[in-house]
């Protein structure tokens, strides 16, 4: 029988498996991480995963669900706060506030060495482009409500701007954030090039970049490929 909450006893086998799986998924990817690797690292029997989680797919979902729930709750709480403040002050929410409510919690989590959040956020960054269909579907479902609320808030904060453009730019911002989180050596392209990898500085760095991208002049579709807005700033 699979215990969905905590097994009656069994010291903390479930947790050990989740932690081991999380770390190995980051290092090798979902497919390339075998049950034997997970159980070996966790120091439990091979059959323990199927006993506690039923299948590898269920384990993967559980690894994500454990962290993603808290992440999106923090995001929504931050947005609630921002919107409440705006109502109280009788002003419109600023786009930068919406962005911060969405992206800061993930960056906080990514730079939080204590709670293993850093490992998870690297995994999440990679998984955004995961080809595996069931993983994508699952993540999309987990994200749906949060994304809906943030897009609505962003639309409202930018009344003049076509929603089409806002949507695209949010998409771009998720990409930039994903890279920022996945690590400076994601592709080892930048290996050895960064002098300063202080994670505390990553947040203002990325936020400046995202805000600059969001506020950029709208594209000019007049001429085909080369979009050169002409003036700088």
Partner DNA sequence: TTAGAATTCAAACGAACGTTTGAATGAGCT
Partner DNA sequence: AGCTCATTCAAACGTTCGTTTGAATTCTAA
Q: What is the smallest separation between the CB atom of 82 and DNA, expressed in angstroms?
A: 42
User: What is the C-alpha to C-alpha distance for residues 157 and 137, in angstroms, rounded to an integer?
Assistant: 29
Interface of this chain with a copy of itself, residues 33 to 92, rule: CB under 8 A: none
Interface of this chain with a copy of itself, residues 138 to 177, rule: CB under 8 A: 139-140, 143-144, 147, 151, 164-165, 167-169, 171-177
Task: Decide: is 213 part of the binding site for a copy of itself (CB under 8 A).
Answer: yes
**Residue 39 tokens, joined:** 């159980």
User: What is the C-alpha to C-alpha distance for residues 172 and 231, in angstroms, rounded to an integer?
Assistant: 23
> In terms of DSSP H, where are the helices of the chain?
13-28, 35-42, 47-53, 56-89, 95-110, 117-127, 133-157, 163-182, 199-214
Q: Which does 4 bind (CB under 5 to 8 A by kind): DNA, a copy of itself, none?
A: none
The correct pick among 23, 118, 125, 149 for binding a copy of itself (CB under 8 A) is 125
Q: Taking the chain, what is the end-to-end CA distance rounded to the nearest angstrom? A: 63
Stretch that binds a copy of itself, among 39-47, 53-61, 67-75, 199-207 (CB under 8 A): 199-207
The correct pick among 20, 21, 24, 51 for binding DNA (CB under 7 A) is 51
Query: Measured from the CB atom, is 56 or 94 closer to DNA?
Result: 56
Binding site for DNA (CB under 7 A): 1, 3, 6-11, 13, 33-37, 44-52, 55-57
């Amino acid at each position: 029988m699979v215990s969905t909450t905590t097994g009656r006893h069994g010291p903390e086998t479930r947790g050990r498996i989740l932690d081991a799986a999380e770390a190995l998924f980051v290092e090798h990817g979902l497919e390339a991480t075998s049950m034997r690797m997970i159980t070996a690292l966790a120091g439990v029997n091979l059959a323990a995963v199927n006993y506690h989680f039923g299948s590898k797919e269920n384990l993967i979902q559980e690894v994500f669900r454990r962290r993603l729930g808290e992440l999106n709750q923090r995001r929504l709480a931050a947005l609630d706060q921002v919107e409440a403040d705006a109502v109280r002050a009788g002003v419109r929410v600023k786009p930068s506030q919406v962005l911060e409510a969405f992206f800061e919690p993930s960056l906080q989590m990514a730079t939080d060495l204590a709670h293993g959040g850093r490992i998870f956020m690297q995994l999440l960054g990679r998984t955004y482009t995961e080809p595996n269909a069931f993983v994508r579907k699952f993540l999309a479902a987990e994200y749906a409500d949060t994304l809906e609320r943030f897009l609505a808030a962003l639309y409202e904060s930018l009344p003049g701007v076509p929603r089409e453009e806002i949507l695209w730019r949010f998409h771009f911002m998720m990409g930039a954030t994903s890279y920022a989180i996945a690590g400076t050596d994601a592709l080892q392209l930048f290996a050895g090039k960064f002098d300063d990898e202080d994670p505390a500085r990553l947040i203002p760095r990325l936020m400046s970049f995202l805000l600059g991208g969001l506020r950029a002049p709208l594209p000019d579709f007049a001429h085909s490929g080369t979009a050169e807005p002409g003036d700088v700033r």
